[in-house]
Amino acid sequence: MKGGVARGGLRRRLFIAHLLTIAAGAITLLGVMLLLAPGLHDRLMVAWLGPHWAATADDSMIEMERATNAIFTQAMVQALTISSGAAMVVAVVVSFAASRRVAQPLERLVIAARRIAAGHYRERVPIQGDYELAQLAAQFNTMAATLENAEQRRVALIGDVAHELRTPLATIAGYVEGMLDGVVESDEGTWVLVLDEVNRLRRLVGDLQELSRVESGQVALNLTAVTPAALSAAAVARLEAQFAEKGVTLRTQVAADLPLVSADPDRVLQVLINLLGNALHYTPVGGEVTVQAVRVGDAVQWCVRDTGIGIAAEHLPHLFERFYRVDKARMRATGGAGIGLTICKALVELHGGQIWGESAGLGQGAAFFFTVPLFHHYK
Ligand code: ADP
């Protein structure tokens, strides 16, 4: 017994229900036959002997008629009792198979659900039985796969976060221990290095918090009708100085008469700034970055294209995964934690758009595209 329900109870109840149906049928058959048979017999006899036979018949004939009536009824009762017994035997076999056919897949589901609840997310059930049961089993397997995937992501995330925190913490510990032991000078230069690592940790924690807010749906979009040109200009204005400082040219090619998009301007700006920041980061001095926007179907498609280091084809499908960096060691020292594009993807998808990256290969520059649906009046 578990949860107040006996194991195998459904199978037994189905079995008993089948038997009761057959038994009720047999009893009704017998009862109705006993009620109707004598009357029917008499009527048939009258039909055979003629309507006036009783007036001319002697006592022995009447006695004979009564006797045949009793024998007829008895024969019927015996025949029905034997055939009911045979029907019950067949019913036992058939209802056993039928109740097993319905109950077995359900019992398997119960066992599998119990194992999943206990944390065994690999559990699956065979897809068998009648249409509805097979559908239930297929849906159950889909749910189990989703749970397994979520669990794998959770475990991977904990591992990734621990890994990301370990490096800056080890560096900070190294400097501080070095200063305590007198091996490293306790001067401004060392403290600046320590502060760099602290800031890296702070950025990482901030990015993680932002990612968790966006992915858990806590970020509510403030959708309004936004002018693509104004949005692009705002992003460019934010980063112009940094581009000039590094010596990378920043161009804008956005037509002023593009239709309005339905967007949260702060969030789309965040995506554009992130892509422009990456482009600046991965483009060497003397390079060029262009922001473009064009109408494609029912959306405006932005593109941030650079002439930087480019991306090898095998990395392109993974760029938007959490903590994914093309060159892990180098990017850890110079770039972010590999969460920026993951946040961009979540934000763009929240708007109902898509985001992807393209590159002809290493040294060939890269281009990042994203779409934002048009404001409904313009569709
Ligand atoms: P990060 O914070 O490390 O830049 P992102 O999620 O923004 O993380 O980017 C993931 C990875 O994609 C980067 O580590 C880098 O390897 C690659 N990448 C992103 N933008 C570009 C670009 N414009 N050119 C080349 N590589 C890029």
Span from the CA of 87 to the centroid of ligand 1 (angstroms): 76
Quote the pLDDT of residue 1. Answer: 40
> Tell me, what's the pLDDT at 26?
85
As for how many domains the chain has, the answer is 3
For residue 40, what pLDDT is reported?
85
Ligand 1 centre distance from Cα of residue 319 (Å): 7
Tell me: the pLDDT tens digits for 52-89? Answer: 777 777 888 788 888 888 888 888 889 888 988 888 88
CA angle 193, 162, 277 (to 5 degrees): 55
Higher pLDDT, 5 or 172: 172
Kindly give the number of the ligand 1 atom that is closest to the alpha carbon of 368.
23
Each residue's pLDDT tens digit, 261-304: 999 999 999 999 999 999 999 999 999 999 999 999 999 999 99
Do 371 and 261 have their domain in common? yes
- In the predicted model, is pLDDT for residue 100 greater than 60? yes
252 within a domain of the structure (yes/no): yes
CATH code, 277:
3.30.565.10
Q: Which of 241, 244, 253 is nearest to 286 (CA)?
A: 244
What pLDDT does residue 85 have?
Answer: 87
* Host domain of residue 260: 224-378
Give the nearest ligand 1 atom to 320 CA.
Answer: 6
What is the pLDDT, as a whole number, of residue 65? 80
Residues 6 or more apart in contact with residue 92 via CB below 8 angstroms: 19
Nearest-angstrom CA–CA distance, 88 and 96 = 12
Could you tell me the distance, in angstroms and rounded to a whole number, from the CA of residue 336 to the centre of ligand 1?
8
CATH number, position 183:
1.10.287.130
pLDDT for position 42: 80
- What's phi and psi for 326, nearest 5 deg? -70, -50
The answer for 365, left when phi > 0, alpha when psi is -120 to 50, beta otherwise, is left
Instruction: Based on the fold, state whether residues 157 and 238 are members of the same structural domain.
Output: no
Mean pLDDT of 165-183: 92
- Residue 144 forms part of a structural domain: yes
Residues 53 and 143 in one domain: no
In angstroms, what is the span from residue 320 Cα to ligand 1's centroid?
9
* pLDDT value, residue 30: 85
Is the domain of 268 the same as that of 343? yes
Q: Which residues line ligand 1 (CB under 6 A)?
A: 278-279, 282, 306, 308-309, 311, 319, 324-326, 331, 335-342, 366
* Whole-number pLDDT of residue 129: 77
Same domain for 209 and 163: yes
Looking at every residue in the chain, the average pLDDT score rounds to 88
Q: Is the overall model pTM greater than 0.85, yes or no?
A: no
Distance CA 111, CA 88 (A): 32
Mutational pocket test of ligand 1: of 280, 325, 332, the residue with most ligand atoms within 8 Å of the beta carbon: 325
Q: Tell which wins on pLDDT, 112 or 14.
A: 112
pLDDT at position 235 is: 95
Q: Which residues of 58-68 are buried (b: 16+ CB within 10 A; e: fewer)?
A: eeeeeeebeee
Q: What is the percent of the chain with per-residue pLDDT over 70, rounded to a whole number?
A: 95
Res 335: pLDDT: 57
Residue 344 has pLDDT above 60, yes or no: yes
- Kindly state whether residue 125 falls inside one of the protein's structural domains: no
Same domain for 191 and 63? no
